[in-house]
């Protein structure tokens, strides 16, 4: 197992050139939950924008639009009323983050079914994983090799019951093989696995990340890099390391809202 280190992926980071325009930097979509569950999507979208995605759009249920609109500026906003409408609005995206505060219900399942047909890289987190508890095969049948699952251990156990009994490394490798997608098993030492057998251990985990919303930021960061067409495994490895580095730079008092604003410093140190 490799140790995750910038030397492995720094050269793949998608820096813009003088001729780059916003659409060339990738189009990221983040799917929001209902009106009382919009914070997670806003955190993810802000992080994706900070990571360099050129155009970021939140797609939300109609009742959430009036809540989100006053809270975003460079991030665009489009309501959708059905899974079919969501698919149409997301059809031009390069990457989609779905799951943060999405709701553990059939609507989330239907949304992911629809998004799987868009061709975008899917970053599935939180409720997007838990909604498929007991129906893992249904989820994995939807995935491509460039899609990314980002569970903490509880969510991992719901999707792959009993697999953690063999140890975290063996479990994440097997989960990635079964899913035929990248799996990010979050924790004090986050593990990132690809379906081709690559696996990395992240060494710079920060205790300041033990705060609500930090995982939503990570999902948005991964989405921001994959929207710029960085290969999914390397994008996940880079985002996990940068996420922890940003937290360490901020230190005590960190809340998830701070992470997006500290990312420019973490990125500048890598350039």
- The string of DSSP codes covering 44-108 is HHHHHHHTT-SEEEEEE-GGGHHHHGGG-SSSEEEE-SSHHHHHHHTTT-SEEEE-TT--SSHHH
What pLDDT was estimated at residue 24? Answer: 85
Full-prediction pTM beyond 0.95? yes
**Domains observed in the chain:** 22-257 (3.40.1190.20)
What pLDDT was estimated at residue 37? Answer: 96
What pLDDT was estimated at residue 257? Answer: 97
What pLDDT was estimated at residue 23? Answer: 87
Q: What is the mean pLDDT of each run of 10 residues along the chain (271 residues)?
A: 97 93 93 97 98 98 97 97 97 97 97 97 98 97 97 98 97 98 97 97 97 98 98 98 98 98 97 91
DSSP 3-state of 234: helix
């Amino acid at each position: 197992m490799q140790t995750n280190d910038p030397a492995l992926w720094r050269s793949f980071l998608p820096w813009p050139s003088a001729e780059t325009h916003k659409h060339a930097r990738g189009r990221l979509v983040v799917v929001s939950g209902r009106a009382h569950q919009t914070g997670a999507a806003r955190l993810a979208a802000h992080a994706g924008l900070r990571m360099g995605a050129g155009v970021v759009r939140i797609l939300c249920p109609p009742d959430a639009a009036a809540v989100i609109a006053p809270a975003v500026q460079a991030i665009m906003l489009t309501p959708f009323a059905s899974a079919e409408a969501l698919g149409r609005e997301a059809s031009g995206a390069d990457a989609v983050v779905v799951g943060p505060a999405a709701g553990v219900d059939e609507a989330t399942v239907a949304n992911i079914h629809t998004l799987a047909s868009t061709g975008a890289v899917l970053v599935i987190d939180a409720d997007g994983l838990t909604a498929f508890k007991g129906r893992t095969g249904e989820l994995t049948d939807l995935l491509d090799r460039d899609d990314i699952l980002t569970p903490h251990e509880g969510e991992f156990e719901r999707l792959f019951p009993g697999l953690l009994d063999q140890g975290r490394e063996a479990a994440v490798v097997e989960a990635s093989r079964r899913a035929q997608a990248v799996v990010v098993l979050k924790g004090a030492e986050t593990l990132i696995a690809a379906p081709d057998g690559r696996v990395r251990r992240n060494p710079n985990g920060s205790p300041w990340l033990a705060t609500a919303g930090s995982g939503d930021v990570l999902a948005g960061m991964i989405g921001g890099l994959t929207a710029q067409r960085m290969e999914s495994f390397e994008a996940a490895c880079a985002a996990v390391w940068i996420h922890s580095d940003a937290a360490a730079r901020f230190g005590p008092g960190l809340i998830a809202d701070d992470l997006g604003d500290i990312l420019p410093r973490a990125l500048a140190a890598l350039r």
